Structure 1
Amino acid sequence: MDRLKRVGWGRVATVTVVAVCVGYAPIAMTELWPYARPGAPAFGEWLLGKAVSPRYVADALATRIGPYGRSLVPLILHSVLGGALMLLGPVQLSSAVRRRVRLHRAVGVVYALTVYASMAGAAVYLARTAPRDAFDGESFWLVLATILVGTTLSVTFGVLAALGRLPDLHQRWMLLCYGYLMTAPLLRLEWGALPWILPDGLPMEDVNRVAIMHLGSVVVFGALLASRAMDRRDALPQQGGTWAAWPVLAVAHVAGAAALVWIGRSFLDFGAEGRRLLVAFLLPYAATYSVMAVRQRVAGRRGRPWAREEWRLHLTALCLAPVFSVAATLCFERYMHLDGLTALSAGVGIGCGVLAFAATTAVSLRVLYAREVARRQAMGGGSEASAAAPDLAHI
C-alpha cells in the first residue's frame, strides 16, 4: 500500500511538472514580442490580465520598456531558449528517453548547450542593467544573478559527472539545474495566484518580493525529492560513517535557530510588509524542514543508510541557510549600500538555493569518497582505506 501511494504521488508530481513546463513554454517564447513589435500577442500578459486585472499587468510592465529595450536581443534569446528548455527537460527525464542511451546523450548535449546560450543572454541583460533598474529593484537583480550562476554551475557539474561516468551524480546536478529553471514558471504562477491571497491593490513588485522569499527553497526541495525518488539504493559500497553526525546537526540547528530569530526580528521592524515577507519565508521553510527531518529518521529506521545520509546532509544545509542569509544581508548593506529591507529580502531570497547547491556538492563528495574507498579495497589497499575512513566519517 505504501509503495502504491508513493507511485501515485510520484506520478501526480510528474504530470503536474510536465503540464506546468509545457504550458509555460509558449508564454516564455512570446513574452518579449510586444517590446520588439508593439501590439504583438503575448499569451502570458493576456492570461495574467484575466487572472488578476489588466491594470495590474500594465502598471508593472510599463517600467520595463527602457531596461528591456537596452538588452532586447539577449533577452529574446534568453526567453525563447528558456521556453525550449521547458520542453527539453521533461523529454530528457522521461524513462523512454533515458533507456535509449544514444538518444539521451544527444538530447543532453542539446539541453546543455541551450542552457549555456540562454544563461548567456540573461548575463548580458544583467550586466547592462543597473540593479536598481531591474524589476522589483536590487533584491530581484541579486536573486536573478544567483539563479544564473547556480544554473550554469549545475549543468556544468552535470556534464562533468556524465563524462566521468557518474550517472548518479549527473542525475542530481541536472535535476538541481532544472529546479533552478523552474523558478521562472512558478514565479508567473505566483504573480497570478498571490493577489487572491494578499491584500487588494498590491502592485506586482510587492507580489514579486513575496514570491522570491520561498521560490528558492521550493524548487531545490523539489529537485531533492526527485533525486531521492530516482535513487533506490539502500547503501553505498563502503559508505562508512556519516558526514552529518548528531554533533554537526546540533551545531547547525543552534546556529540556524539564532539566525532565524535575527531574520524574524529584522523583518518585524518593517511593519506590515515585513510581516508579510516573514510569513512567506517561514511557512515553506518549516514545511521543508519537517519533511527532511522525518524522512531522515524514517530512512534510518528502515535500514537505508544512504537515503538517511543524503537527507541529513540536506537538512544540515537547510539549517545553515538562514546563517548564510544573515551574512549575505550584512554584506549587501555594507558593500552595496542597500537599505535594510532590500538587503534582507535579497539575503533571504538566495539563502536556501545557495545552501542546496552546497548540499549537493557535499553529497557528490560523499559519493566520490565512498567509491574511492571501495576502489582502494578492490586493489588491495583495504587496510589503508579503513584507517582513513574514521577520520572522514565525522566531518
Structure 2
Amino acid sequence: MRRPTNRIWRRATMIAVTVVCLAYAPIAMTELWPYARPGAPALGEWVMGRVVSPHYVTDALANRIAPYRHSLVPMIVHSVLGGALMLLGPAQLLTAARHRTRLHRVLGVVFAVTVYVSMAGAGIYLARTAPEDAFSGAAFWIVLATLLVGTVLSVTFGILAAIRGLLDLHQRWMLLCYGFLLTALLLRLEWGFLPRLLPGLTMEQINQVAITHLGLVVTFGALVASRARDRRTTIEGVSGSWAPLPVLAVAQLAGAAALLWIAYSYLDFGATGRRLLGAYLLPYAVGYVAMAVNARRAGRQGRHWAQEEWRLHLTALGLAPMLSVAAAPVFQQALGLDRLTALTAGVAIGCGMLAFAATTVVSLRVVRAGEVQAGVSRSVSGDRREAAVAGAVRRGSPG
C-alpha cells in the first residue's frame, strides 16, 4: 500500500481547513445577535447546547452580557466581519494554489480591508473594557490585545512584502495573520471538547486553559504551512546561519530554566495550577520536538534554507518561556493582577510573540539576501562594463 505523498497531505489539509472555516463562518456572524435582539437566532449557542449542555451555555452567556454591553455595535461588526474572513481565507489559499493572480489580488485587498475594520471593532471593545472586566478576566483581555496587534502587523507586513515583490514573505505573513484569526475558531472547538476532557469547568475556566497554548498552536500551524509551500533548497545570498549551534544551545538552556520556574510557580496553585501547566507544557513539547526533528531532517537532506528557518523558530520557541517569565511580574505590578493571572497572561503571549519575532528574523534574512545578491549583480555588471571599455580602448589604440 502506497504512503500518502506530501502533495496529498497538503490537499487534504487545505480541504479540512476550508470545510471547518465554512462551517464556522455563520456561527461567527450570528454569535452576538442575541445581545442586540433577544431571541435572535444564534447557531453557535444551538450547537454548543447540544454538544455540551444547555446549562453550560446559559452560564457562559450570563457572564458575557456585561462586558459586551458597552461595545455591542463594534463587537457585532467584529464578529460579522470575522465570519467573512473565515470565507475569504480559504478563497485566498485556493486562488494562490491555482495561480489565479488577478482574483487573488482583488480578494487580497478585500481581505486586508476586512481585517483592519474587524480589528478596529475589537480594538474599540478592548479600549472601553478594563482588563479585569473583560469576559474571562484580565489574562484573556491581554491575549486578545496581543492577538489584535499581531494580526494587524502581520497583514500590514504581508501587504508591504507583496508591494516589494517578495512573494515568499508575503505568503508567510498572510499565513501567520490567518493563523491568528483562527484562534477564535479553535477556541470554540475547545469549548466543545474540553468540557468532556475536563468535566465541571465553566467556559471562563476553559478559556484560561485554552489561552495557554493557542498562540503556539496557530503559529506552529502557520510555520508548517509556510514550509510546505516553500520548496527551495537554498536562497541566493543566504550563507551561514543566524542561529548557529552555540546560540541555539544557549536559547534552549535559558528556555529550560524558565520552564522550570513556570512549573514551580504553577504548582503553588494546586489543581488549577497543574491543569494550566499541563495545558501549556504538552503542546509546547510537541511543537519543540516537531521543530527539532524537521530542522535535523532538513540538514541531513541538504535543504539548508529549510533547516535555517526551522532553527530560527526553534530558537524563538526556546526563548518564549523567558519572555513569559519576564512579562508575568510586569503584568502583576502594572495592572495590579494576582500572581496566577499574571503568570497565565505571560505564558499565554510568550510563544505567539516569539513566533512573530522569528518570522520577522526570517524576513530580514530574505531581504538581506536580496540586497547581497543585488550588490553582487551590480559588481559583476560594473566589472563587465570596465572590461568592455578596456577592450574597446585596446582595439582602438595604434599597433
Please say whether Structure 1 and Structure 2 have the same fold, judged by a TM-score greater than 0.5: yes
- Aligned pair 1:129/2:135, yes or no? no
Compute the displacement of 1:97 (Å): 6.6
Deviations along 1:124-175, whole A, 9 cap, x unmatched? 0000111111111000000000000000000000000011111000000000
Compute the displacement of 1:196 (Å): 0.5
Q: Is the 8 A contact 2:255 2:320 kept in 1?
A: yes
2:371 counterpart residue number: 372
- Aligned pair 1:150/2:146, yes or no? no
Task: Tell which deviates more after alignment, 91-100 or 175-184.
Answer: 91-100
Deviations along 1:192-238, whole A, 9 cap, x unmatched? 1000001x221111111111111110000000000000001000002
Q: Distance in 1 between matches of 2:57 and 2:124?
A: 25
Compute the displacement of 1:101 (Å): 1.5
1:211 counterpart residue number: 210
Compute the displacement of 1:63 (Å): 2.1
1:240 counterpart residue number: 239
**TM-score normalized by structure 1?**
0.94
Where 2:5 maps in the other structure, the secondary structure is: helix
1:41 counterpart residue number: 41
Q: Is the 8 A contact 1:71 1:128 kept in 2?
A: yes
Compute the displacement of 1:96 (Å): 6.2
Task: Tell which deviates more after alignment, 264-273 or 201-210.
Answer: 201-210
Matches within 5 A, 1:80-159: 80-95=80-95, 99-159=99-159
2:312 counterpart residue number: 313
- Let me know the Cα RMSD of the aligned residues: 1.5
Compute the displacement of 1:60 (Å): 1.3
1:276 counterpart residue number: 275
Matches within 5 A, 1:1-395: 4-95=4-95, 99-198=99-198, 200-380=199-379
Q: Distance in 2 between matches of 1:96 and 1:113?
A: 19
Compute the displacement of 1:69 (Å): 1.6
Seen in structure 2, the aligned counterparts of structure 1 residues 286 and 96 have a Cα distance that, compared at 3 Å, is closer
Q: Distance in 2 between matches of 1:215 and 1:204?
A: 16
Task: Tell which deviates more after alignment, 156-165 or 330-339.
Answer: 330-339
Seen in structure 2, the aligned counterparts of structure 1 residues 277 and 168 have a Cα distance that, compared at 3 Å, is same
The amino acid of 1:352's aligned partner reads C
Q: Is the 8 A contact 2:298 2:306 kept in 1?
A: yes
2:387 counterpart residue number: none
Compute the displacement of 1:381 (Å): 6.9
The amino acid of 1:201's aligned partner reads G
Compute the displacement of 1:382 (Å): 11
Q: Distance in 1 between matches of 2:349 and 2:265?
A: 17
Aligned residue pairs, count: 382
Q: Distance in 2 between matches of 1:356 and 1:108?
A: 23
Task: Tell which deviates more after alignment, 279-288 or 89-98.
Answer: 89-98
Q: Distance in 2 between matches of 1:21 and 1:353?
A: 21
Q: Is the 8 A contact 1:98 1:104 kept in 2?
A: no
Seen in structure 2, the aligned counterparts of structure 1 residues 31 and 338 have a Cα distance that, compared at 3 Å, is same
The amino acid of 1:60's aligned partner reads A
**TM-score normalized by structure 2?**
0.93
Seen in structure 2, the aligned counterparts of structure 1 residues 269 and 110 have a Cα distance that, compared at 3 Å, is same
Moved over 6 A (4+): none
* Structure 2 gap ranges (5+): 383-399
Deviations along 1:325-367, whole A, 9 cap, x unmatched? 1111111112111101100111101111100000000000000
Deviations along 1:73-130, whole A, 9 cap, x unmatched? 1001000000000000000011467512111111000000000000000000000111
Q: Is the 8 A contact 2:95 2:104 kept in 1?
A: no
Deviations along 1:359-379, whole A, 9 cap, x unmatched? 000000000111111111111
Q: Decide which structure has the larger Cα Rg and report it.
A: 2
Q: Distance in 1 between matches of 2:225 and 2:96?
A: 17
Q: Distance in 1 between matches of 2:319 and 2:13?
A: 28
Task: Tell which deviates more after alignment, 24-33 or 98-107.
Answer: 98-107
Q: Is the 8 A contact 1:97 1:103 kept in 2?
A: no
Q: Distance in 1 between matches of 2:264 and 2:107?
A: 48
The amino acid of 1:33's aligned partner reads W
Task: Tell which deviates more after alignment, 187-196 or 372-381.
Answer: 372-381
